[in-house]
């Protein structure tokens, strides 16, 4: 079964750090680009970062550039988001998502995790 | 950055109605557009990719069209389970951007 399961969310104070994880299963993890997308309470979707399928050029939203780092462990099929210097405006549900198109540089997201809530307060 | 603008922001409709949601891109994105459905407390669900390609398992009452800067999502005959929020997303270039969402409510 194709699945993504996020973990690591919680309540942290402004300025602190947090690391999110996304465990993938049921598909070839290294063949798909993987993304983090967040949604503030009651708001719309905001793309955060991408890990390309080949591990090459990573991209970030301007709102997190320099503070967040996306990485992966292909041995355990796990995607990570290291979040530093957290701000109140980073409060959101964070989803990891898979690009549907194998070996694509950028495309739509067909598999999403259930999300993990990060609260900065 | 490419700005995505959806209209309307909300719409009320009845079961059986035909509904169309529009998404406009601030610059041309060819057919690199996706549509998602999101219900409260759930992750988004991919409905359509590359502007008009129905994702596997999505009912055929959903359809997408458009290219360049103007796109539409049409639900041909609303079912009770279709009442949700819909988002468009451009997959042309980074940063990936979403529309602000269209809330589809029961009349």
Q: How many CB pairs under 8 A join A and B?
A: 64
Q: What is the pLDDT of residues A6-48, one digit of tens each?
A: 999 999 999 999 999 999 999 999 999 999 999 999 999 999 9
pLDDT band at A108 (very low <50, low <70, confident <90, very high): very high
Q: To the nearest whole percent, how much of chain B has pLDDT over 70?
A: 100
Q: What is the pLDDT of residues A38-96, one digit of tens each?
A: 999 999 999 999 999 999 999 999 999 999 999 999 999 999 999 999 999 999 999 99
Cα–Cα distance measured from residue B30 to residue B67, given in angstroms and rounded to the nearest whole number: 5
For residue B38, give Cα distances in angstroms to A37, A65, B70, B102: 14, 27, 22, 10
Q: Looking at CA atoms only, how far is residue B14 from chain A in angstroms?
A: 24
Q: Which residues contact B1 (CB under 8 A, 6 or more apart)?
A: A62, B95, B97
pLDDT band at A103 (very low <50, low <70, confident <90, very high): confident
| DSSP per-residue codes, A28-44 | -GGGS-EEEEEE-TTS-
Are residues A35 and B96, on separate chains, in Cβ contact within 8 Å?
yes
| Mean pLDDT over each residue of chain B, to the nearest integer | 97
A2 token code pair: 């194709």
Q: What is the pLDDT of residues B52-63, one digit of tens each?
A: 999 999 999 999
A-chain residue closest to B92, CA distance: A106
């Amino acid at each position: 079964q194709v699945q993504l399961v996020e973990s690591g969310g919680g309540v942290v104070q402004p300025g602190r750090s947090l690391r999110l994880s996304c465990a993938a299963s049921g598909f070839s993890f290294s063949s798909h680009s993987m993304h983090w997308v967040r949604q503030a309470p009651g708001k719309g979707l905001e793309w955060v970062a991408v890990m390309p399928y080949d591990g090459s050029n990573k991209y970030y939203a301007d709102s997190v550039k320099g503070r967040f780092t996306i990485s992966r462990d292909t041995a355990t099929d796990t995607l990570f988001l290291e979040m530093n210097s957290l701000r109140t405006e980073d409060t959101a549900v964070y989803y990891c998502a898979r690009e549907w198109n194998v070996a694509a540089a950028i495309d739509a997201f067909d598999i999403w995790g259930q999300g993990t809530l990060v609260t900065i307060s | 950055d490419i700005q995505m603008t959806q209209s309307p922001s909300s719409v009320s409709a009845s079961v059986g109605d035909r509904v169309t949601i529009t998404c406009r891109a601030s610059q041309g994105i060819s057919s690199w557009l996706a549509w998602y459905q999101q219900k409260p407390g759930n992750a988004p669900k991919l409905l359509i990719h590359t502007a008009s390609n129905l994702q596997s398992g999505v009912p055929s009452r959903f359809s997408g069209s458009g290219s360049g800067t103007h796109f539409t999502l049409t639900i041909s005959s609303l079912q009770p389970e279709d009442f949700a929020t819909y988002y468009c997303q451009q997959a042309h270039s980074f940063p990936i951007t979403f529309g602000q969402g269209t809330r589809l409510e029961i009349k």
